[in-house]
């Protein structure tokens, strides 16, 4: 950013906020920082960086906010917060770190969002680009904060995974290629409605040079003459699935690319993720053999439909990253075996109708646990055998008691984890440890 702004106030001092403070100071800006938590992450580091007199923890200092030239809002802070809104009324500009990245980046970047699958697609797209000999840095909502990526002067291209929270404060992003993978009810505890959430997601396309869309969806219908992907047969240079006597193929137009049984991702959602990544990186692929090898070697992310154990013909799958109804529905629909479903935690809002329909078709047993277990029990108990567990440990034990040869035990909580765990990673790690302990017990 140009050094023509006198005062930045960074609100929220987690991973993103800390990266913003460091970046702005390196640009010789005056920076103040605040957080509503009494002892937030990076507290001591930021005090040393900006000086104790320029730090406010335990509350939002309204005077600092209203006197700021620019507020840089961390994704975890709602822009509708009263103190932020009052500063906006005083004419203060509110940005996110993604806006600063977009302003200062000198290299092209791909932007990916969606309710589900964005981490998988961002990671796979990164691997495909690397297979083409490109120096790629990926981050934002996934991995490194966006501003940390700018430290690498040798980079050829960036890959950004963006959440609705990040897009909500981003006005100037202009990616070379953008995609909205899907939109289902998520974060309605923060966004006012599904329509508002949809509009925020779709804003990623506003200044994009090229648009990639999921075919035959509300997203895809919003545009003409764009690159699309879907599970049906593709037209022209779009991406989809073709079938012939030799099997089922990922295809670009009428050209077969890769047999669908050669990928490590599970189910329909796995196929869609591969198609999205290929469509997203299409303009940068010079060597298709290398690109397709990267796609076939990609085995997915931890805690995203990850096979933990397959013993006695019983599969145990960790989909702890499935924190909303859409993700869990996709996971269920991607498994072609009888399912014992473990779900629960903190429901983030939205209808359970799609979950009920998926459960009715593919799930033989549901085990609910966590803060909102009663909500899920009442929604599902009339359609499938549903049991209540007191903990994730108890849920795994119940699943072990009910599982038979040919079954899949699926942890896909459809909920946030914060009632019992620090994050979905901790929840997934606990599940995996419990499954392996269960294996040892069964083996005795």
Helix residue ranges, H only, 254-300: 267-281, 288-297
Instruction: Specify the pLDDT at position 2.
Output: 47
Q: Which of 29, 187, 211, 348 is catalytic?
A: 187
3-class DSSP state of 271 = helix
Token pair of 16 as six digits:
């993103």
Helix residue ranges, H only, 334-412: 353-362, 373-380, 392-402
CA distance 304 to 423: 14
Q: What's the Cα-to-Cα distance from 314 to each of 55, 308, 337, 402, 409, rounded to whole Å? A: 54, 11, 10, 11, 7
Active site residue 141: yes
The answer for residues whose C-beta is within 8 angstroms of residue 352's C-beta and 6 or more apart is 325, 375, 376, 379
CA distance 168 to 14: 18
**CA-closest candidate to residue 101, choices 111, 113, 90:** 111
Q: Which of 118, 191, 211, 347 is catalytic?
A: 118
Bridge partners of 365? 340, 385
Active site residue 221: no
CA distance 147 to 415: 29
Instruction: Specify the pLDDT at position 188.
Output: 57
Instruction: Specify the pLDDT at position 185.
Output: 63
Tokens 């990916």 correspond to: 112
Active site residue 118: yes
CA distance 440 to 444: 6
The answer for residues whose C-beta is within 8 angstroms of residue 166's C-beta and 6 or more apart is 75, 96, 97, 98, 140, 141
CA distance 393 to 438: 10
Instruction: Specify the pLDDT at position 190.
Output: 60
3-class DSSP state of 306 = strand
Helix residue ranges, H only, 27-168: 43-50, 62-67, 82-89, 97-104, 118-131, 146-149, 164-168
Instruction: Specify the pLDDT at position 442.
Output: 58
Maximal CA-CA distance, the chain: 72
Burial class (CB in 10 A: 0-12, 13-18, 19+), 174: middle
Instruction: Specify the pLDDT at position 171.
Output: 86
Q: Which of 42, 116, 141, 324 is catalytic?
A: 141
List average pLDDT for each run of 10 residues in the chain, which is 444 residues long.
72 95 94 94 93 96 96 93 95 96 96 93 98 97 94 95 93 95 71 82 96 95 93 96 95 97 88 97 98 95 89 94 90 91 92 92 95 97 96 97 96 96 96 87 51
One-character DSSP codes across 318-329: E-TT--SHHHHH
């Amino acid at each position: 950013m140009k050094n023509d702004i006198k005062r930045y106030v960074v609100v929220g001092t987690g991973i993103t906020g800390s990266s913003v403070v460091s970046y702005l100071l390196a640009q010789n800006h005056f920076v103040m920082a605040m957080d509503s938590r009494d002892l937030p992450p990076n507290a001591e580091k930021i005090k040393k960086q900006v000086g104790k007199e320029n730090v406010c923890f335990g509350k939002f200092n309204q005077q600092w906010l209203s006197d700021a030239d620019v507020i840089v809002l961390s994704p975890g802070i709602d822009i509708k917060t009263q103190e932020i809104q009052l500063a906006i009324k005083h004419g203060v500009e509110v940005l996110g770190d993604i806006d600063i990245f977009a302003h200062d980046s000198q290299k092209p970047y791909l932007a990916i969002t969606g309710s589900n699958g964005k981490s998988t697609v961002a990671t796979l797209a990164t691997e495909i680009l690397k297979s083409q000999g490109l120096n790629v840095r990926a981050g934002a909502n996934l991995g490194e904060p966006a501003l940390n990526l700018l430290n690498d002067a040798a980079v050829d291209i960036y890959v950004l995974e963006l959440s609705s929270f990040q897009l909500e404060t981003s006005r100037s992003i202009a990616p070379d290629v953008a995609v909205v993978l899907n939109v289902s009810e998520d974060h309605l505890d923060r966004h006012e409605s599904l329509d508002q959430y949809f509009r925020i997601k779709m804003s990623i396309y506003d200044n994009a040079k090229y648009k990639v869309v999921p075919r035959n969806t509300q997203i895809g219908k919003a545009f003409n003459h764009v690159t699309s992907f879907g599970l049906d047969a593709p037209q022209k240079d779009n991406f989809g699935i073709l079938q012939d006597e030799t099997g089922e193929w990922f295809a670009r137009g009428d050209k077969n690319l890769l047999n669908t049984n050669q990928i490590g991702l599970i189910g329909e959602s796995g196929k869609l993720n591969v198609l999205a990544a290929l469509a997203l990186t299409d303009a940068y692929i010079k060597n298709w053999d290398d690109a397709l090898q990267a796609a076939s070697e990609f085995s997915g992310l931890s805690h995203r439909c990850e096979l933990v154990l397959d013993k006695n013909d019983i599969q145990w799958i960790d989909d702890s990253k499935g924190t909303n109804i859409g993700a869990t529905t996709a996971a269920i629909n991607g498994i072609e075996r009888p399912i014992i479903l473990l779900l629960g935690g903190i429901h983030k809002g939205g209808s359970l109708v799609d979950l009920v329909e998926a459960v009715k078709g593919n799930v033989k047993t549901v085990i609910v646990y966590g803060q909102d277990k009663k909500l899920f029990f009442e929604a599902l108990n009339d359609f499938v055998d549903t049991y209540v567990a007191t903990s994730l440990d108890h849920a795994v034990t119940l699943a072990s008691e009910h599982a038979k040869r040919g079954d899949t035990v699926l942890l896909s909580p459809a909920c946030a984890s914060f009632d019992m765990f620090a994050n979905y990673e901790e929840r997934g790690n606990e599940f995996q440890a419990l499954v392996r302990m269960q294996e040892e017990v069964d083996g005795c």
